Amino acid sequence: HLALVVQTNFQVVAYTRSKLHISTLGLFCDVSSFRRLPNVIFYHITRDSIRSAFRLGVTADQILRFMLVHAHPMLRNEGLPLIPANVRDQVLLWDREQRRVVMDEVWVHQCRDAAEFTAVGQYASDSDALAWGAAHTNKLYIHWSKHTSVQTYIRKWRSKQLRS
């Protein structure tokens, strides 16, 4: 049997003797900060402990669901929130942190002038190849998977400009 009380200061009070429940809590709680009494264990949820769980493949939804399912019966009977809003929100924010930056391979093209930057940038944008453009430096960042078509367009565009 497991009964959890999650407090607003990120402390988790677990009423259990089960080694399985203790191990499960150790997946997303800071195990270096736990205190133990005969049938109660005190843990803290930290950013590092949550991120460690994410690296193991545990999702924020799984963590929150585990805390909800095992919430202390007294919390349910009194209509109190099973997980404090600040703890729930913070776990979700830590989860979003993982997807904050997306790495993508790009090909960088240094345009000769503003006219080339505009023309090639428009073509790349229309063909969904443009990752980013910096007008002040006349540089275009093209998704690597589509750079060959943009290079072909650049060659055609430059030869057309020479003929004009």
* CA–CA dist 152, 130 (Å, integer): 15
pTM higher than 0.75, yes or no? no
Lookup result for tokens 């002038």: 113
For residues 5 and 75, the answer to whether their CB atoms sit within 8 Å is yes
pLDDT in tens, the chain (164 residues): 899 999 999 999 999 999 999 999 999 999 898 898 988 999 999 999 999 999 999 999 999 999 999 999 998 888 788 999 999 999 999 999 888 777 889 999 999 999 999 999 999 999 999 999 999 999 999 999 999 999 999 999 999 988 87
**Helix, strand, coil proportions of the chain in percent (round to 5)?**
50, 25, 30
**What beta strand segments (E) does the chain contain?**
3-6, 11-15, 30-36, 40-44, 106-110, 130-134, 139-143
